[in-house]
Chain A
Amino acid sequence: MDLAYTPEEEEFRARLREWLGKVLPTLPPKPSPDDWPARRAYDLGWQRMLYDAGYAGLHWPVDAGGRGATPTQHLIFLEETEKAGAPYVGANFVGLLHAGPTIAAEGTDEQRARWLPPVLRGEEVWCQGFSEPDAGSDLAALRTRAWRDGDDYVVSGSKIWTSHAEVADWCELLVRTDPEAPKHRGISWLAMPMDAPGITVRPLRTLAGSTEFAEVFLDEVRVPVANRVGPENDGWRVTMVTLSFERGTAFVGEVVASRRVLGELAREARKNGRWDDPALRRRLGRLNAEFRALWRLTQWNVSESERTEGVPGIGGSVFKLRYSHARQELYDAAAEVLGPESLDLSREWTLDRLSSLSYTIAAGTSQIQRNIVAERILGLPKGR
């Protein structure tokens, strides 16, 4: 058990820090959260800077145009960029962390050449068309249909919770190509151009008041068969393969950010006098233990995936269960620190508290995660 970073890893960190110190002051001002075109431009601009400096697609395989970095280097990258206050992955999220890796793993040479470089260079934005109004936790129940018509699929149906849909160039789309097959076996993965006729995007307002994602309605949208990645009806497997790309690093930035917020809470409490309440101090101390442990568990999972060169996969469910809950507790503690001001939406933590309510739902609800942990790690039987 070794928590020390190797000289190579420390050198990687030092060079990255130096670069961040140089480029972050040159960034344009952050766009308004409601200005989606401006957010797209800002996020793509940041991706271009990463590309020019050799940090784009750090964790992608070299033959896909990535840097083939180790999971530990990726952890260091995410830790340092978060600590330095660098922009988030933002609009590049689906391209860099899901659609891109899927194409890298399952695409043909032509598909890789067409779609991967623009993601790395910060030229194209991808969104995700997986969930549907009637296919949430039970994603494989999705009903959006695709029929073959010559060299095209004709796609009709609707998708939901699609982030960046208004400004995306491409959508990684799961469609049902064989309605007769068992539900996991009749799905295909398509790259749908977002400017195709028949696509309607309707923004969804979240309980925090923002429009973070959208519904996407598809009315006989034509998608070339050549845009299918992987074999027809094999889309479920194609999609699941990619989850291994995270390799334990999915929440690195968020844990670093949580620990920063926790320090800010303590200082705010000291300033406004609530620090005198031992119950509050103990609550913050307990959260310190919690996030220290989550950081160690992150290092553990990353080291594990570095050793096995494979899928931490389900270990991620264990982490997400605890982290999502802890993050919500963090903002509940923030409300305790703020007192009546916790009702003021102009306080950053108030909005963050509202946003954090999605953490136990998005990317697999806590209930689904517990099923995964119980059935796939502990080997408990599936319910009827």
Chain B
Amino acid sequence: MDFQLTDDQRALRTGVRELLTGRFGREQLRAAVDTPGLDRALWRELGEAGFFALRLPEADGGVGLGLPEAVLAFEEAGRALLPGPLVATHLAAGEVPGAATGERVVAAVDGTLVEWLDEADVVRGDVTGAVAMRSADPLTPLHRVPRAAPADPVAILLTAAEQLGSAARTCELAVQHARTREQFGQPIGAFQAVKHLCAEMLVRVEVARGAVYAAAVTADPLDIAAAGLLADEAAGQGARDCLQVHGGMGFTWESDVHLHLKRAWVRARRGHSAADAEEALAEDLLSPAAR
């Protein structure tokens, strides 16, 4: 057993992080908030970097890697708050021409929601009767559709990876703020009330990380269901605690915290509901294999 990142996996993570910091740093993030729409040039660059073709066999022009590598890449996307139908396009690689290279943007019905419908070149699923919503997340346009699509376990896993990245990032943002913001003559991070919020954020991140990475290795639907529950918790509660640590500034539009929180809410609606995941995991307890 060696449940740690390999050197190649570390290199891949570093590579994706560098690409995204360079190409979608804070300035670009804020520009994307101010100017809605998908950056097609960035989408093609992601395609060239292999983001969508990551799991396609090399014989088919892909990178030939597996779910663990895809999870690491999507974790970085979650950290950077990279916008666009990333999961849908990644899943369409090899099935929809142009998806793998980033030449075409693919959206998909997930539950009763479609992200990025108007920007997509191809939409998978039945979008008859789609109605635009005023999306709570400024970086994710949303449509509602009448007929729900079934949940795809890989989509749930990649979403969990994005949640994990976002949770890790909000923990870092909270810690940075707590170390530098001074009140009562000392950094607020010296107060245990603040310190303990940050510690709990890290605990949620690390527990979710174990679950998400393991699910990437086993690809087992129940491991994926567990990973989804814990990653949703880490991202949602992490963003809220990050907001709390930032105080009044956290409540402003110019802070990035709300972007993490809103995206975490959007992602938590993808795939099956928390109730369905919990029911599946409860049923598992009665199976003979669980003894």
Query: Is residue B11 contacting chain A, with contact meaning CB distance below 8 A?
Result: no
Residues of A within 8 A of B223 (CB): 292
The smallest beta-carbon distance between B74 and chain A, in angstroms, is 15
Name A224-271 residues within 8 Å CB distance of B: 259-260, 262-263, 265-267, 270
Please tell me if the beta carbons of B281 and A289 are within 8 angstroms of each other in the complex.
yes
Interface bracket on B = 35 or more
Residues of A within 8 A of B192 (CB): 367, 370-371, 383
The smallest beta-carbon distance between B160 and chain A, in angstroms, is 11
Query: Is residue B286 contacting chain A, with contact meaning CB distance below 8 A?
Result: yes
Please tell me if the beta carbons of B202 and A373 are within 8 angstroms of each other in the complex.
yes
The smallest beta-carbon distance between A376 and chain B, in angstroms, is 10
Residues of B within 8 A of A3 (CB): 1, 3, 214, 217-218
The interface centre, meaning the residue of B171, B187, B291 with most chain A CB atoms within 10 A of its CB, is: B291
The smallest beta-carbon distance between A330 and chain B, in angstroms, is 12
Chain B residue at smallest Cβ distance from A286: B278
Query: Is residue B206 contacting chain A, with contact meaning CB distance below 8 A?
Result: yes
The smallest beta-carbon distance between B115 and chain A, in angstroms, is 25
Query: Is residue A97 contacting chain B, with contact meaning CB distance below 8 A?
Result: no
The smallest beta-carbon distance between B173 and chain A, in angstroms, is 12
- Contact A1/B189 with A299-B214, A371-B195, A380-B179 known, Cβ cut-off 8 Å: no
Residues of A within 8 A of B290 (CB): 259, 263
Query: Is residue B279 contacting chain A, with contact meaning CB distance below 8 A?
Result: yes
Name B227-280 residues within 8 Å CB distance of A: 227, 229-230, 275, 277-280
Name A327-384 residues within 8 Å CB distance of B: 367, 369-371, 373-375, 377-384
Interface string of B162-188 (1 = CB under 8 A from A): 000000000100010011000000110
Chain A residue at smallest Cβ distance from B226: A289
CA–CA, A290 and B211, complex, Å: 9
Please tell me if the beta carbons of A318 and B278 are within 8 angstroms of each other in the complex.
no
Query: Is residue B213 contacting chain A, with contact meaning CB distance below 8 A?
Result: yes
Residues of A within 8 A of B5 (CB): 1
Please tell me if the beta carbons of A266 and B285 are within 8 angstroms of each other in the complex.
yes
Query: Is residue A276 contacting chain B, with contact meaning CB distance below 8 A?
Result: no
CA–CA, A377 and B206, complex, Å: 12
Residues of B within 8 A of A299 (CB): 1, 3, 210, 214
Please tell me if the beta carbons of A2 and B277 are within 8 angstroms of each other in the complex.
no
Query: Is residue A282 contacting chain B, with contact meaning CB distance below 8 A?
Result: yes
Residues of A within 8 A of B3 (CB): 1-3, 296, 299-300, 302-303
Interface string of A1-45 (1 = CB under 8 A from B): 111111001000000000000000000000000000000000000
Query: Is residue A297 contacting chain B, with contact meaning CB distance below 8 A?
Result: yes
Query: Is residue B196 contacting chain A, with contact meaning CB distance below 8 A?
Result: yes
Query: Is residue A284 contacting chain B, with contact meaning CB distance below 8 A?
Result: yes
Question: Which of A1, A267, A380 touches B178 (beta carbons < 8 Å)?
Answer: A380
- Contact A9/B179 with A292-B226, A370-B195, A371-B195 known, Cβ cut-off 8 Å: no
Please tell me if the beta carbons of B2 and A2 are within 8 angstroms of each other in the complex.
yes
The smallest beta-carbon distance between A336 and chain B, in angstroms, is 13
The smallest beta-carbon distance between A75 and chain B, in angstroms, is 8
- Contact A286/B281 with A4-B1, A297-B210 known, Cβ cut-off 8 Å: yes
Chain A residue at smallest Cβ distance from B172: A378
Query: Is residue B18 contacting chain A, with contact meaning CB distance below 8 A?
Result: no
Query: Is residue B58 contacting chain A, with contact meaning CB distance below 8 A?
Result: no
CA–CA, A347 and B206, complex, Å: 35
Residues of B within 8 A of A1 (CB): 2-6, 9, 68, 213, 216-217
Please tell me if the beta carbons of B208 and A307 are within 8 angstroms of each other in the complex.
no
Chain B residue at smallest Cβ distance from A381: B190
The smallest beta-carbon distance between B70 and chain A, in angstroms, is 12
- Contact A384/B199 with A282-B275, A286-B229 known, Cβ cut-off 8 Å: no
Chain A residue at smallest Cβ distance from B201: A378
The interface centre, meaning the residue of B175, B207, B208 with most chain A CB atoms within 10 A of its CB, is: B207
Chain A residue at smallest Cβ distance from B204: A322
CA–CA, A219 and B210, complex, Å: 50
Please tell me if the beta carbons of B214 and A380 are within 8 angstroms of each other in the complex.
no
Query: Is residue A294 contacting chain B, with contact meaning CB distance below 8 A?
Result: yes
- Contact A293/B2 with A322-B203, A377-B202, A378-B199 known, Cβ cut-off 8 Å: no
The smallest beta-carbon distance between B255 and chain A, in angstroms, is 20
Please tell me if the beta carbons of A303 and B195 are within 8 angstroms of each other in the complex.
no
Query: Is residue B282 contacting chain A, with contact meaning CB distance below 8 A?
Result: yes
Query: Is residue A306 contacting chain B, with contact meaning CB distance below 8 A?
Result: yes
Query: Is residue A121 contacting chain B, with contact meaning CB distance below 8 A?
Result: no
B→A interface (CB under 8 Å):
1-6, 9, 68, 171, 175, 178-179, 186-187, 189-192, 194-196, 198-200, 202-203, 206-211, 213-214, 216-218, 222-223, 225-227, 229-230, 275, 277-286, 290-291
Can you list 21 A-B pairs, Cβ within 8 angstroms, ordered by A? A1-B213, A2-B2, A3-B214, A260-B291, A281-B282, A284-B282, A285-B281, A286-B229, A288-B226, A289-B225, A289-B277, A293-B208, A296-B3, A371-B195, A371-B196, A373-B202, A374-B196, A374-B199, A380-B189, A380-B198, A381-B179
Pick the 4 closest A-B CB pairs, nearest first.
Answer: A285-B278, A285-B282, A266-B285, A297-B210
